[in-house]
Amino acid sequence: MANTSHRDVSPDIARSWLLVNATRPETFDAAEKSRADQIILDVEDAVDPRLKPQARADVATWLAAGGTGWVRINDRTSDFWSDDVDALAGLPGLRGVMLAKAEAAAHVSETFDRLRGTTPVIALVESALGIEEAASIARARGAYRLAFGSGDYRRDTGTSSDDLAMAYPRSRLVVASRVGNLPGPIDGPTVGTNHPVLREQGEMAVALGMTGKLCLDTDQLPIINEVISPTRSDVAWAREFLEDFEARGRVIRDGSDLPRLGRAEKIDKLARAFGVEPA
């Protein structure tokens, strides 16, 4: 697989989203050069409230000086949200924001408007209320993708990390994303770098329809990028189908052709973006 960086992969199909602690500006450059499809400088959960002003200022300085990335900002109901959006609005390196603890469409639209109506907003859904309101959040003005704050959701609901227990909120976000005509949602992070566990959880997210995953460490990036990319055998099938379809003049032979065509075109698009060659 090609060693694509976040600068090569559009955020609407980005697989790996690396969270970077905003109190460590010395790591920003290395994160930007990593194998993450996108990076998110975190001024929310990763930062002690007393350190937020300095972390916010360091992020703004880096984005103004040539760095590029997303920023996870504090939730709309917090005392820090207003200062976050004011500090970030108009910065040349800002690709978008991830809004923490999104629980209403207004949280997204108000954030989008305060960022001058040009900055995409990823709504991080982290609670029972957020899951319940996911469809309206996905349809909000400025919503770009949904993401799952799985740790906070478990704390809010008392749900275990069991795959069956977590399938419901993940599926709700997948359905809401489709309702809102958004790309597939971004799954929450896996703690640790145990590759079999990371691979298993990544595969489960993909099976449910999620198309990205938050990452906590650069060691997680190669596994997540591989798991969320089309397999080489899938790419081989897609290319063969498309070649045959073109060779017969794009004639539809039966009712299965259109679904297969849609799947083949999607696989081919992702494979070209991610640098996956057919088997």
pLDDT at 254: 86
In the predicted model, what is the mean pLDDT of residues 171-178?
Answer: 98
pLDDT at 192: 80
pLDDT at 253: 85
Confidence of residue 153 (pLDDT cuts 50, 70, 90): very high
* Residue 5 scores a pLDDT above 60: no
Domains and CATH numbers, the chain: 16-228 (3.20.20.60), 232-274 (no CATH)
Question: What mean pLDDT value characterizes the chain?
Answer: 95
* Residue 95 scores a pLDDT above 90: yes
* Residue 255 scores a pLDDT above 70: yes
Residue 240: how many other CB atoms lie within 10 Å: 12
Q: Do residues 60 and 87 lie in contact, with contact meaning Cβ atoms separated by under 8 Å?
A: yes
Confidence of residue 108 (pLDDT cuts 50, 70, 90): very high
Among residues 256, 254, 255, 257, the alpha carbon closest in space to that of 246 is found at 257
pLDDT at 214: 98
The two structure tokens encoding residue 209: 């329809």
* Residue 243 scores a pLDDT above 50: yes
* Residue 7 scores a pLDDT above 70: no
The pLDDT tens digits for 198-231 are 999 999 999 999 999 999 999 999 999 999 999 9
Beta-bridge partner residues of 19 = 40
* Residue 3 scores a pLDDT above 80: no
pLDDT at 252: 86
Residue 94: how many other CB atoms lie within 10 Å: 23
- Rounded Cα distance between 96 and 89, Å, is 10
For the chain, what percent of residues have pLDDT higher than 90? 91
How many CA atoms within 13 Å lie on the side-chain side of 120? 14
* Residue 6 scores a pLDDT above 50: no
Contacts for 179 with CB less than 8 Å, ≥ 6 apart: 135, 138, 139
In the predicted model, what is the mean pLDDT of residues 105-134?
Answer: 98
Confidence of residue 193 (pLDDT cuts 50, 70, 90): confident
Asked whether the whole model's pTM tops 0.75, one would answer: yes
